[in-house]
């Protein structure tokens, strides 16, 4: 019997979407909510978000990605999946990190993979959220028409 696959986990968030990502060694299969990538995200831009971290590290055809995503809309879910995949890749390759001394004398534990992901902005949470509706107004900022007289 073959050995059990080792999964690496990552969680991504964007607006109200939350994505739980598991990656393991494999053939490049991407499954989101038990559907193929092209079925779940028919828009090419959203597909690009999901495979962006994999293409950056040249791991597109070497890793299997399994995602459970909930909440929000299509773009929010794609952004959450992007961050989840990047975090899972960081945990996958972060185990071999060794502390190195920088030029200014400080120690850094980031290896090349984590640094690439960080510099590309894949590990940064997009904190923009929908603004709440205020009382006495029609929406978050829109007010009713003002009449001076």
- Confidence grade of residue 2 (pLDDT, cut at 50, 70, 90): low
Express each pLDDT in 84-115 by its tens digit.
Answer: 999 999 999 886 555 656 666 655 555 788 89
Return the pLDDT at 108: 55
pLDDT at 5 over 60: yes
**pTM for the full predicted model:** 0.83
Domain 8-119 top-level CATH class: alpha beta
Mean pLDDT, residues 11-18 taken together:
96
Domain range list for the chain: 8-119
Concatenate the DSSP letters of all residues of the chain into one string. -PPPPPPEEEEEEETTEEEEEEEEESS--EEETTEEHHHH--SHHHHHHHHHHHHHTT-TTTEEEEEEEESS-HHHHHHHHHHHHHHHHHHHHHTT---EE-TTS-EE---HHHHHHHHTTSSS-----PPPPPTTSSSSS--PPP---
């Amino acid at each position: 019997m073959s050995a059990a696959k080792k999964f690496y986990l990552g969680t991504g968030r964007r607006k109200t979407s939350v994505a739980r990502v598991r990656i393991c060694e494999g053939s490049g299969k991407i499954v989101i909510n038990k559907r193929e990538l092209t079925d779940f995200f028919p828009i090419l831009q959203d597909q690009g978000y999901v495979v962006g971290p994999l293409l950056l590290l040249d791991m597109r055809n070497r890793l299997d990605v399994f995602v459970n995503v909930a909440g929000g809309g299509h773009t929010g879910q794609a952004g959450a999946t992007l961050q989840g995949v990047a975090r899972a890749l960081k945990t996958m390759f972060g185990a071999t990190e060794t502390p190195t001394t920088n030029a200014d004398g400080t120690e850094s534990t980031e290896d090349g993979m984590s640094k690439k992901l960080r510099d590309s902005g894949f590990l940064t949470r997009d904190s923009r959220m929908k603004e709440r509706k205020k009382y006495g107004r029609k929406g978050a900022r829109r007010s009713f028409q003002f009449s001076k007289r």
